[in-house]
Amino acid sequence: MRETKVETGVVKAGAKTPAVAETFSYTALRRQMLYAALAQVPAGKVVTYGQLAQLAGLGRAARWVGSQLGRLPDGGSLPWHRVINAAGRLGVSEGSEAWYEQCQRLRSEGIQVSNGRVSLRLYRWQP
């Protein structure tokens, strides 16, 4: 497994203690970048998997983004429902519980969902 060292820590004014280095796995670091980008997507807007990968600084990782969103724990606060595929379709299986939940969440934010599709022209977030 590849690892990246990231300098972290809080040093109080006047303290002589250096910041502590923590080791994170490469995947965990990428996941944190993804979550930070996803948290920025405003209510009433959507992004595609590929667009979210770009916003997170992950390049062309649309499939990886989809796999990570599929692993989010239930009850989390990240707006996973605002991510759709490049054709404007919901990214979960049509008719599934998650599909109905995504439709409901998007509609509650004022996004029109028709036959499992969202208009990217109208609702795509352009930061």
Output the domain CATH number for residue 48. Answer: 1.10.10.10
> What is the span of the domain harbouring residue 92?
31-123
Asked if the structure places residue 78 within a domain, the reply is: yes
Bridge partners for 20 per DSSP = 8
Give me the number of domains the chain comprises: 1
Bridge partners for 86 per DSSP = none
Asked if the structure places residue 12 within a domain, the reply is: no
Torsion angle (degrees, nearest 10) of CA 64, 47, 69, 91: -90
Asked if the structure places residue 18 within a domain, the reply is: no
pLDDT (0 to 100) of residue 24:
66
Q: pLDDT digit string (tens) for 26-61?
A: 888 999 999 999 999 999 999 999 999 999 999 999
pTM to 2 decimals?
0.79
pLDDT (0 to 100) of residue 73:
85
Asked if the structure places residue 26 within a domain, the reply is: no
The bridge status of strand 47-48 relative to strand 3-8 is unpaired
> What is the SS3 assignment for 60-112?
CCHHHHHHHHCCCCCCCCCCHHHEECCCCEECCCCCCHHHHHHHHHHHHCCCC
